[in-house]
Amino acid sequence: NAGVTQTPKFQVLKTGQSMTLQCAQDMNHEYMSWYRQDPGMGLRLIHYSVGAGITDQGEVPNGYNVSRSTTEDFPLRLLSAAPSQTSVYFCASSRIVRTGELFFGEGSRLTVL
């Protein structure tokens, strides 16, 4: 079982560049989310989606866009990368929105120079 798949695993960007982190899940989960992990700060929610066509902001949404055109895919777009966006990004999904039992991808390590 693939579970939650994130690509790329590693990426280096220059300030001002844009890119998309891909996330796909094959478990037919309605809920998908993006977190960023920074040392000493735990995981912070960027954006989330409770179903196709529905997205909402989390705790730290600035500088990021998302869309959810299908149940399976939830890409995260960095519009104009900044050094403050250097982080490890995790995509997570859940079968039932309210349970909090998340399945995580393996993470994408992004460095912005």
Partner 1 sequence: AQSVSQHNHHVILSEAASLELGCNYSYGGTVNLFWYVQYPGQHLQLLLKYFSGDPLVKGIKGFEAEFIKSKFSFNLRKPSVQWSDTAEYFCAVLTRTSYGKLTFGQGTILTVHP
Binding stretches for partner 1 (CB under 8 A): 4, 31, 33, 35, 40-45, 48, 50, 58, 90, 92, 94, 97-102, 104-107
We find the least distance from the C-beta atom of residue 97 to partner 1, in angstroms, to be 4
Q: Which residues face 10 on adjacent strands?
A: 109
Residue 7 or 17: the one with the smaller Cβ distance to partner 1 is 7
Go through 1-14 and write b for each residue having 16 or more CB atoms within 10 A of its CB, e for each that does not.
eeebebeeeebebe
Taking the complex as a whole, how short is the minimal distance between the CB of residue 70 and partner 1, in angstroms?
19
Whether the Cβ atoms of residue 91 and residue 34 lie closer than 8 Å to each other: yes
Our CB check for partner 1 shows the closer of 82 and 102 to be 102
Least distance between partner 1 and beta carbon 15 (Å)? 27
Q: Which CB sits closer to partner 1, 41 or 113? A: 41
Angstrom distance (rounded) from CA 49 to CA 58: 10
